[in-house]
Structures are given as C-alpha cells and as structure tokens.
Structure 1
Amino acid sequence: MQRFEFESAKFLPYLPEDCQGNPGAYGFELSVWLSQSLMRQGVPTSYPLGEDWGWFIEYIEGDAEFMIGCGSQAEEGEGYKGKAIAWHIFVKQQLSLKQRFKGAARPDIGSKLEQAILAALRSEGIEPHSEAAA
C-alpha cells in the first residue's frame, strides 16, 4: 500500500464539524476533487463513501478492486481555521480470501493509480511525501 502525505488548505471542509464522520476526520472535499482529477486522466472511480477515519473512492478494473482513502490528520475544529492541515491519500487493493490464495494481487494497477494521484497533486502545486505503508 502506498501512502501520500502533504499539507494544504485547499481541501478544508465546508460543512460544520458535526457533519463530519468524526471530529477532525475530514476528507470529503479531497476525495471529490481526487475523483474528478482522476476522471480527467481517464481513471473513473466511484463517488466518495464515508468511513469513521475519512472518505474513500473505489477503482475497479476487471477483477481488481482498489480503495483510495482520503483523510486528514487534524484535531477537532482545525479544519475551520483557514490554515493548511495534514492530509493523506492511500491506495490499497481489496483482495478476497480466494484472491489472496490465488495470488491475484495487481501491483501494476496500483502503480498506475499511484502515478495518476501523484500527477493530480502536482498539477495543484502539491509535492507530497510518499511512503510504502503496511
């Protein structure tokens, strides 16, 4: 799983804190922007779906399904001060038990998604730190 981390004020929430999945768990605006940016590159995703840690979009190609998670690393209320906060995006293939046994991982598709995400971020002048996550 690849993880991109960066700071920006571009994706701050517009709805109040009590509309977020959890206090300080922002990411809807980032996930909408990312879905639109990926679509412009010919990479169609799902609409954003919420989790208690943030938001994610899904990408499916053949039998391969990927989760692209978008979230913040912020304290409650921090997203409403108009200042940059820490964000993260991760890419993770969702494998069924059968796919795991068959060795059906598709790192080539994951790499394609990671490159598209990096291109989208850079188009906004964002240079993320990236790392392989467990």
Structure 2
Amino acid sequence: MGDKDNRGMGSTPTKAIVEGTDPYSLHHSDHPGMVLVSKVLEEDNYGTWSRAMRISLSAKNKIGFITGSIKPPSSTDDSFPSWQRCNDMIRTARQLKGRGCPHTALTVMEIIIALKGAFTYMAFQ
C-alpha cells in the first residue's frame, strides 16, 4: 500500500509536469468556442480586452501562439498536427470569431495582428 500513487487517475509527477509545460497540450475543458475572457471586445476596450486575452493565454501556456515564440512547424514535421490542433482551438475561441477577424487568417498571431490594426485604426477615426 505504501507504493500506491494517490495523485489520481494514473498520472505520474513527470507526466503532470510535461502536460503543464507543453504548449501543445490541451486540457479536457478546452473546446472550440470556449470563452477565454469574459470581456466582450468593443470599439473602445481593445487595450483591456487584449491584456485579459494575453493573461488567459499565458495561464493556458499558449501565449507563444500570439507572440510568435511558438512558430508553426513544417507541415511534414511530426509536431505539426499538435501545433495545428492548439492553433485551431484558440482561433475558434468565441472572442476571436467575427469582430473583424480575417477569414483567411491561418494563425492566431495573424488574427491578433489584424485585430490590433483594426482597433487602432478605429481609435483614430
């Protein structure tokens, strides 16, 4: 009995650490249409919304998808399906659908750049 792992459901400390630090890992609660921030993006709150979005993505270990530190691997790379799954999960988040997001954007970084440009433009009109 002393050797029994009481951490739950067969996870080992090593597996938990890897899942917590692997930017390609997804939590069971991550899903298309998930809500990343409670604030709705409006014409006058891009700065606040952007900060909340960055904090949310950082907490999920996905901030690199918008900063560019997690670059898309080659489509022939073994890690490409994992990268694509995470990128798609973030792209389909409720706050990033619509709102002037280009439908042709392939990466989360392209969406964020487009949003920043659109909302910066609107602020100066």
With the shorter chain as reference, the TM-score category is 0.3 to 0.5
- TM-score, with structure 1 as normaliser: 0.31
Q: Which has the higher helix share?
A: 2
Q: Which has the larger radius of gyration?
A: 2
Q: Which is strand-richer, 1 or 2?
A: 1
Alignment TM-score, normalising by the size of structure 2: 0.33
